Amino acid sequence: MASISLTIKLSEHLENFMSTEATIRNYILENYLFTEDQSALDSADSFLDKGILDSTGILEVIYFLEDEFGIKVEDTEMVPENLDSVNNIVAFIGRKRQ
């Protein structure tokens, strides 16, 4: 029983992770790269280094995350470790939800 429940939890977790990642990826692709082509963005790409976002872009992303995922991004959390790539954002949302 325990192993079945763990498997279900893990798959739920994976589904959550996948949908969070897809939501964020699609938002960035649609609004900053203006395309549906998934290959245009690697989830590890740095928004800063690749010139994907400028300083107002990052604020828009924060407002999007707050709306979409019902979280509050504190000023002190506005650091590249949390926000500078799709992967970083997914991990950040995961931590916020815990």
Among 59, 66, 68, 94, binds other proteins (CB under 8 A): 59
CB-based burial of residue 1 (10 Å sphere; 0-12 exposed, 13-18 middle, 19+ buried)? exposed
CB-based burial of residue 90 (10 Å sphere; 0-12 exposed, 13-18 middle, 19+ buried)? buried
Residues 17-36: x where in contact with other proteins by CB under 8 A, - otherwise, as a string: -------------x--xxx-
When the beta carbons of 17 and 58 are compared against other proteins, the nearer one is 58
Q: Contacts with other proteins: how many residues (CB under 8 A)?
A: 20
91 binds other proteins (CB under 8 A): no
Among 21, 27, 58, 71, binds other proteins (CB under 8 A): 58
Nearest Cα neighbor of 19 from 69, 80, 61 is: 69
Residue 54 C-beta: closest distance to other proteins, Å: 6
CA distance 53 to 1: 47
Residue 64 C-beta: closest distance to other proteins, Å: 15
